[in-house]
Structure 1
């Protein structure tokens, strides 16, 4: 199959005006869901700085009451108005010396124990202090966890009887929670701190005990927020988790969850607590970070404006001296609250209001998704695809033969219908994973379509028409990608996604698939010039040279690095991190490098240059990195929609400027080469080729 399609410069398979109208219709269908999302996002505008209780407790151990009050005043004046208070555990009493592990719990070897507690088998034996009230509370907590496996005895001493406790069947009880320190809570409230109650990361007891502890703590402190710094309670016990979530809802308590990384159990709790989820960000203060507080301030602000974080939890390192930790935390809190970006204000943590689009909004967003898929499928109809064919064996035939055929409408329609059925199943069953599969399919199709549409705006025009035609093609490709992003944002406009409890499914697939789709389509259209050929794998293997292998490994390595560095936890070199922080401060939200400095400049180069067919498609495959990244920006559902649009606008404009500069430099270079060679060429031949 030969002809215009094989060069990638034919008449577009779908009229360009129809593509533009389809984009506008898809945006209109997405508006209802997007409006409900924007209304909720506008209400999350506070940023609170909280300090973990364990750090404050360490600093106050050697101070009298007057020093404690002075320290509290200094912290509150700096902006630390909230303290995160966790449960006391056996490990804390072991560290303070109130308990000593005689057997087990990290103890190596054995020590003297009462005869009543000596015996074979694995066990933990702890020794308390004479007359200390801590020991009774520890015993109560251990009996709650281990029941009749707990035995208590004493040994006489000159100062009085020394208490011991043995727990049979376990070698470590340091993680057992003993509840909240009531006296501690009262002191924090007395000096003017707000309290956020931290939930334990592991609860072996029944939910009733945890409910009693939390209820007592919030009544004493007036707290309205509980925080999960690790796995949520009963994450592996859905029935108990549901009961505890109902308790939180009945007490009108907001649940704060970390913003980075999946939190076990977050999806279950978020589904049962719509409108009561607060996003939190943990800020570690170490020796190194104290020397560079600017970076912590910038990243704290970034968490607030880009990820909907309303609670910054400052956690100083135990390696810091009390004085240095106090100075670092005070300066960090003061600068964070004093230099808040526009749109944020200091105040108690705010929960994201519930966002649950009605059936009409969901159907409209689903219709927009089907529309994008339909245009993408129609654009691929007629693409030359190699099909195996049976030929009579000839002497020249060394293997199976292939011939080109146009991709039929029926095959595209079947795929479109399959995605539609998955979407209908998601609407009927409420299964979020099915809805996410539809979202992923739309994202990949639309990101690929943006580049294919831009490249398909007919053959490169004459030089005098080049700028206008290039801008038109660039604008249409950007419109398709942005439309896809808005449709994806509409599909993800529901509470469990907006608070980050359920992340977007298939981020890596979205980032890799569009460049691969564009590259494959280009290879098919370029290679379709030969109507039929014979596949001889042995002959292909004989032609492989070491530099082919090295090139393939380089491409795979680049793709791997491209994927690994993507995402909130992706790797990035130090200079790039510095540049990100600088752009955040200068532009309010930084453009994504994959879009502004790679993908969109490549799209301009592909459109503006009079390339031969193969290089044009190679540039197009690189350009798909930009459109995929733009769609992925809108798949960051926790990011406010206005910031997603602003970030994308920066990328589009910067990409256009950078790409134009590359084209201008390349043409100047070609002109110089032609003059030095003494060649006489037409203006059209001076363009990149």
Structure 2
């Protein structure tokens, strides 16, 4: 016991000494408090094209959106196809030209080669753009000038470059400009990068990749090197990059690493959905507040142009109105760099080793604790030699799995002697936070903050503590259980525990079923408390844990089975903090509410249990078994 007290002292000193990394993480999150809203330029121009009344112009729409709070507009490079869509030119094939000549009674010969024919744009900018990219043959057919571009490949969707006039107009209107960039054929990407470099000083701010790939990605062996080369050039020019939530764009990890994580997290919302207006606003606010999103990309609803514009302007205004005062609408920027020096990581690895030794010696045996310590020592040396991130992720997983078990299993002798629920509850929460601090510290840095790298092993944190607690509860009690006479109140407890476990299984994971009533309650809790506590913590895990401690103090061995649902609270709060892209202060606030509410509901559960016990004892003639 004396040895463990000494080790606890060393561990707490180490955690205090390494807390600088956690403070830096929280400071970085809180200081980056600007978010931006983005709408594609082609959807804004579409408002004018599809307005049957003729009252809406692109300039008017831009002004209304700006007044509503829109911060940025994304633009795509011009292609022959979208130039045709915008009525800047016409694209025709050979058959169409021959048909026109036939009806005109003309017998002029056309080039024998395969290709497409264009009507020259009236605007000099576009005319020069086509000449620079395709060097077309200039034909005079039936007194009409046409451009002929030879080739059998589909060239009408190839990027011609970004419209500098559009960029200039958007900048003068007060918008940030986001460039949409698509991965091209390998031989076209170098020229695309050069175009991006040339227009950087024209006012472009950041790059948002389209499709499922980043620029330079391919299945070739040199793909990563190409991505690295392109990214470094663009980063040096001043570009930052967006990463889209729930979109696994191939090559993004290489882009992030090569840009030193000059990444802005983006949440995309298509307003042409089945959600209510209020749900759309809530979703946008929650993305910024709870998931460190700093860009909100909106696709306009499919309605008539006037309704479309009015809806979007109203949404922008209400999103800004509902956004917490911490956040301001403006120019989104990447998070500042979190410095994690080697000495800090080493201190955390030593702290994790001590923590696991103490935990294993408490849960199992001193010999197994020494084996676990030796394993941790090997991993620490391995990290010092290689500095592989995977080693830190493995250590963090070990800490995350053992922490809920260590926190939930009490020292039965001490528990009976002190007879204090509050003391044991506080001790369990304290152990949990030590493990949480270690996990956050080990997996600290911009790679985790931007979710380019993640905590590995979430499912194990959900499953292993419950399995261990099940074995712990049954160990040594099976024979006694088989001999125990079952009375009414036993069946009530068994039914409650069974329903709790079933509910936990149904609700675990992102695909869990949630009723409309619960969604309403969730929203009310969020409105009231800023960050909603997790249901499985304050309604299931912690109340059952409090009840189990109450009964264990009274030497009720069967109460160990209540630790099975009880451990859910501790593994859930660990799981909350392993979502490393979520702001730390949000996770702390959410957990604080869960701990406090769980304790209160736990005492209510004790009260209800005693009433039920008294009632059923009377029902079986006062016998309590």
Question: Under a length normalisation based on structure 2, what TM-score does the superposition of the two structures give?
Answer: 0.82
Within 2, Cα distance between the matches of 1:251 and 1:380? Answer: 55
Within 1, Cα distance between the matches of 2:421 and 2:546? Answer: 7
2:450 corresponds, among 485, 495, 499, to 499
1:302 corresponds, among 262, 266, 286, to 286
Q: Higher relative CO (CA 8 A, sep ≥ 6), structure 1 or 2?
A: 1
Instruction: Report runs of 4+ in structure 1 exceeding 6 Å deviation.
Output: 13-16, 63-66, 132-136, 151-155, 553-559, 611-614
Shift of 1:208: 3.0
Within 2, Cα distance between the matches of 1:461 and 1:94? Answer: 82
Within 1, Cα distance between the matches of 2:540 and 2:349? Answer: 31
1:579 corresponds, among 518, 521, 527, to 521
Map 1:216-615 → 2, pairs under 5 A? 216-221=198-203, 223-228=204-209, 230=211, 231-236=213-218, 237-274=223-260, 276-286=262-272, 288-289=274-275, 292-317=276-301, 319-382=302-365, 409-452=366-409, 454=410, 456-458=411-413, 461=416, 469-527=420-478, 561-565=506-510, 572-609=514-551, 615=558
Map 1:1-400 → 2, pairs under 5 A? 21=9, 24-25=12-13, 27-61=15-49, 67-89=57-79, 92=82, 116-117=112-113, 128-129=118-119, 156=141, 161=146, 163=148, 165-168=150-153, 176-202=158-184, 204-205=186-187, 207-221=189-203, 223-228=204-209, 230=211, 231-236=213-218, 237-274=223-260, 276-286=262-272, 288-289=274-275, 292-317=276-301, 319-382=302-365
Paired residues, number: 584
Shift of 1:579: 3.3
Cα 1:656–1:307, aligned 2, differ >3 Å: closer, same or farther? same
1:635 corresponds, among 571, 575, 578, to 578
Find the counterpart in structure 1 of residue 560 from structure 2. Answer: 617
Do 1:225 and 1:255's aligned partners in 2 also have CA atoms closer than 8 Å? Answer: yes
Shift of 1:355: 0.7
Do 1:141 and 1:177's aligned partners in 2 also have CA atoms closer than 8 Å? Answer: no
Do 1:139 and 1:165's aligned partners in 2 also have CA atoms closer than 8 Å? Answer: no
Cα 1:485–1:89, aligned 2, differ >3 Å: closer, same or farther? farther
Shift of 1:177: 3.1
Task: Give 3-state SS (helix, strand or coil) of 2:360's partner.
Answer: helix
Shift of 1:490: 0.7
Do 1:224 and 1:254's aligned partners in 2 also have CA atoms closer than 8 Å? Answer: yes
Shift of 1:665: 1.0
Do 1:422 and 1:434's aligned partners in 2 also have CA atoms closer than 8 Å? Answer: yes
Within 1, Cα distance between the matches of 2:560 and 2:155? Answer: 63
Cα 1:162–1:225, aligned 2, differ >3 Å: closer, same or farther? closer
Shift of 1:414: 2.5
Do 1:155 and 1:163's aligned partners in 2 also have CA atoms closer than 8 Å? Answer: no
Provide the alpha-carbon RMSD of the alignment.
3.7
Cα 1:25–1:429, aligned 2, differ >3 Å: closer, same or farther? same
CA offset digits 1:314-346 (Å, max 9, x no partner): 1224x3332222112111111122332132122
Question: Under a length normalisation based on structure 1, what TM-score does the superposition of the two structures give?
Answer: 0.75
Task: Give 3-state SS (helix, strand or coil) of 1:196's partner.
Answer: strand
Do 1:226 and 1:254's aligned partners in 2 also have CA atoms closer than 8 Å? Answer: yes
Within 1, Cα distance between the matches of 2:465 and 2:2? Answer: 19
Shift of 1:269: 2.6
Do 1:114 and 1:153's aligned partners in 2 also have CA atoms closer than 8 Å? Answer: no
Do 1:451 and 1:624's aligned partners in 2 also have CA atoms closer than 8 Å? Answer: yes
Task: Give 3-state SS (helix, strand or coil) of 1:256's partner.
Answer: strand
Shift of 1:57: 2.3
Do 2:507 and 2:514's aligned partners in 1 also have CA atoms closer than 8 Å? Answer: no
Task: Give 3-state SS (helix, strand or coil) of 1:309's partner.
Answer: coil
Within 2, Cα distance between the matches of 1:596 and 1:127? Answer: 69
Shift of 1:42: 2.5
Find the counterpart in structure 1 of residue 608 from structure 2. Answer: 665
Task: Give 3-state SS (helix, strand or coil) of 1:444's partner.
Answer: helix
Q: Where in structure 1 are there 5+ consecutive unaligned residues?
A: 1-12, 104-112, 119-124, 144-150, 383-408, 531-552
Task: Give 3-state SS (helix, strand or coil) of 1:27's partner.
Answer: helix
Cα 1:436–1:193, aligned 2, differ >3 Å: closer, same or farther? same
Shift of 1:19: 8.4
Task: Give 3-state SS (helix, strand or coil) of 1:47's partner.
Answer: strand
Do 2:38 and 2:72's aligned partners in 1 also have CA atoms closer than 8 Å? Answer: yes
Do 2:69 and 2:320's aligned partners in 1 also have CA atoms closer than 8 Å? Answer: yes
Within 1, Cα distance between the matches of 2:527 and 2:294? Answer: 19
Find the counterpart in structure 1 of residue 484 from structure 2. Answer: none
Cα 1:271–1:607, aligned 2, differ >3 Å: closer, same or farther? same
Shift of 1:527: 4.9
Shift of 1:233: 1.8
